[in-house]
Structure 1
Amino acid sequence: MSGDGAAPLDRADIRVRDDAGLVGALRGFADRVRSGDLGSLPVVVGLAIIWTVFQVLNPVFLSSNNLVNLLFDSSTTGVIALGVVCILMVGEIDLSVGSVSGFASALVGTLWVNQGWPVGFAILAALAAGGVIGAVYAALFNRLGMPSFVSTLAGLLAVLGLQLFILGNTGSINLPYGSWLVDVGQLLTVPHVLSYLLVAAAGLALFASGWRTRMRRLRAGLTPPSVAGIAVRAVVFTAVLEAVAAYLNAARGVPWMFCIFVALVVGMDYALRRTRWGRAMTAIGGNREAARRAGINVGGIYTSAFVLCAALAALGGVLSAARLASASQQAGTGDVNLNAIAAAVIGGTSLFGGRGSAYSALLGIIVIQSISSGLTLLDLSSSLRYMITGGVLAIAVIVDSLARRSRLSHGRG
């Protein structure tokens, strides 16, 4: 017996628990599905169906060149959707993300082209302006109790007015071709060798994360994941991404802009799952009063969610301006708002708060952009894109509602 009264783990114990980890992996997954914790399963299945249908209808859909363009186009709205994930996690909404993105693109164009600011300072000013807008929403919510639906709807109109005001009579500003910002938005891709190295690094990071989890569970006397399971997961993950990178490298390669988006997703995923701030976000979204009684600074967490959402919307606007090489009155309008919010929900973030993932933005925007790209290749009306996207969104909300009901029933049982 050890000094603290707990029996030490011997090799037989670990071996038995490793076997349990291997054998129980699928069983655990099945249990989670039965309890309503579907994770990303519905959106992955839906994406596979969408890709299969469009590939059958037009073999160009899954070509390397088309997928590279799809990744370029997904990055701008995807960054905005990542901010929407943050605000949905606490059970609130921001209806002005499209207007904030358009305002940020206009501000960059005005400061950089018209006022002669260095492009880096212009981008920082746009991000700061987005953060200030989010702070205003947070103050209205925390101090005056104004519902986020109302405050952000008012902000949608007010920020759109600011965008039109700073653009003036010209209505649009062309960004300089040949600048690094426009090159990132339209041309630059990761060198082939570097893309393979980055994928290998991601695989090693996944294995290291699994190994740390195993060590923590062993120290706590809990059933650890098996070494074989951790290794297989990392190897499969690396092999799949290496194949994807090789396929994209057959064309132009992996866009740097998409890498920026993925880096933000990975960072946000770590923050939401592994930090006290992320756990507080989940707790507040699940039960605000319980979180307050547990000592969580509810007002501060709400402020961080609003500010982060608006700042990421501003960054999405900057990337959109880079993609189009212009800032105009149409930036941030149209279906930008719809697509950003829909991407977060379709990807698996709950409208009821307390459940979601940064990867929801990644999966959701790829679904939406796949629909748009596929219909464009088929030369079909944009009206179909709206109807199909609306249908997919409705299905996602229905699945979320049913899963929530299943979790509640499972919890009562």
Structure 2
Amino acid sequence: MTEPGDLLRRLFAAAVAAADPAVSLAQHLPSPPPGRTIVVGAGKAAASMARAVEAAWPGELSGLVVTRYGHGAPTARIEVVEAAHPVPDAAGEAAARRVLDLVAGLTPDDLVLCLISGGGSSLLSLPAEGLTLADKQAVNRGLLKSGASIGEMNCVRRHLSAIKGGRLAAACHPARVVTLLISDTPGDDPLDIASGPTVADPTTGADALTILDRYRIEIPDTVRAHLLSGRGESVKPGDPRLGTPEVRMVATPLMALRAAADLARQEGVPALILGDAIEGEAREVGQVMAGIARSVATHGLPLAKPCLLLSGGETTVTVRGSGRGGRNVEFLLALGVALGGQAGIYAIAGDTDGVDGIEAIAGAVLTPETPVRAAAAGLSLTDSLDRNDGHGFFESLGDGVITGPTLTNVNDFRAILII
């Protein structure tokens, strides 16, 4: 087996590579239609998905996709627009309006390819009638700090939008709509990937308001009035404008975890995938994973060392400090506190899009020497966790994982190596 830190970084790279649209998107494309083909979409992987469509599509096509600033890719026929994430901006609002214009007036002979990946909720941000971009920005900022799950956040977003929650697909009617998805959500529910712009939504504005109240999120009066009025209702199951949804998964978190597991086994290290849809507070997940790792090290359960424990999903962080957070580095801080420098246990955690939180840092590596090295640098795992300062901590030690934009997004990747 190679050096533990190097192996962990290669495992992360293998997971990201498995989610590259160039690897698998072409096999999910439908046949060209008699009429026009329009490509629209949004997400951190939208540009690379558009590039993969262009490479494989045999006929005419045109369109527009919107991705995060810095996540663009060269395309010839599909325009790529960049906008803000995780808090929406005017560029995303303008792009969403253009997307609706592109799909207006289509016929049953036309085809709309919707390329959807994680991050699309903020990138394709068109406020519902009566709301403003500032309203949506305020709600998003509150949600991001609240500790709400991705499903809860997206329920709220759908009911403040003029394009999500099935509204984009309804606008395409009567054209055929085929949605190609790269999943970044636990459970791979299309409704939660970019807040489901092309699928029916059974939740209600009342559900959204309950979530906002549960987390005590301060919202503008206009938002509360909008949700109470019923004007924000999304497109419901059975709506004839949606027809029979055609949704195809291009890449998922489980695909990435399996790729990492295969590489580990090639290196002679048995791998166990604990789950691809793990949610909860990042620090609490870190404590639980530390307990499992200690069980392996001490008792050989659930499997004997050397071995690799893999998991994915999307944890949350309730922000209390003023540090440079990120849910993956928050997880590692909590894991490190719980392990206390126990020998033979190494870990990596990172966001497969290359951005953990709002930092252009994917994640970090934790080793048994981390607490001692931190103390020598005047740092403390516990203090950094209290301040939500994972990026500041690991950057100071030179243990950050920096990939740049990966142009894909299948959520969080966590690997714990016990030797």
TM-score by length of 1: 0.24
Q: Report the structure number with the largest CA radius of gyration.
A: 1
Q: Which has the larger share of helix?
A: 1
Q: Which has the larger share of strand?
A: 2
TM-score by length of 2: 0.24
- Highest RCO, 1 vs 2 (Cα 8 Å, sep ≥ 6): 1
